[in-house]
Structure 1
């Protein structure tokens, strides 16, 4: 990782994208797998850009990259599900990062909207597409949560290019 050694920082420019990514990586996130149904069958993608937006109405967001060949499938999806991975599900996150059809790596079913739903994750948000905003090289996909589920376990975390888990203070 490139160290930022001055208090002045730097101006993010195209030639400093790696440095900008390194600074963004200082913010730890959870790891999610987003799923939807497509004409080719169930599709998934790993994303760490997930956040709550609103309680009323219940809205969440995630940010797919335009450069992903899976982007058009998620941009067109009327319904999708966002799954928060457990600390022991790193292999699942990697599988969906590499292959959108990686459903043989997990237990899943379909909900009433035909969306593939992973059944053993830490949390799940079943969404209806609410809005899609174009923002640079990504889109901001806002989903209205139709159903939410919380499971048991510890979340899988990602920070500074590394995966890990939360350890509570004593």
Structure 2
């Protein structure tokens, strides 16, 4: 009798890079926008395709995010699809402010989907990011959306959520 695939096996089978791959722990490179706009568009399209594949195999009631390292690309790009509302493209994002008010919730990650961990995150994040034309904008994210964005931004810094968990937490 064969063992059924784990949730992480399923994510790997749809092209999501799994824990242990060095790309997940490396700092990503920024795009030079607008010069690199064509490459940035290709990466974003690949992120949307990965999110589509993930939502085809799992329901994400709180939304989903995918960062470029999770598809094997070491660039500063991520997308977030909230449970409600439009998808968000984050190119060269930088946190410029975060609230001292935090919230601790369980998180999961497509790159090790078999476990969840309780992670403290700021309830409000202000993030500067660029559009494909190179224009900078600042967006404020709150509560659940701030959590999704913070999780993806960590991926761009080579950090997995387990590094944010309180010491001794399993």
TM above 0.5, yes or no, is no
Task: Give the alignment's TM-score, normalised by structure 2.
Answer: 0.29
Structure with greater proportional helix content: 2
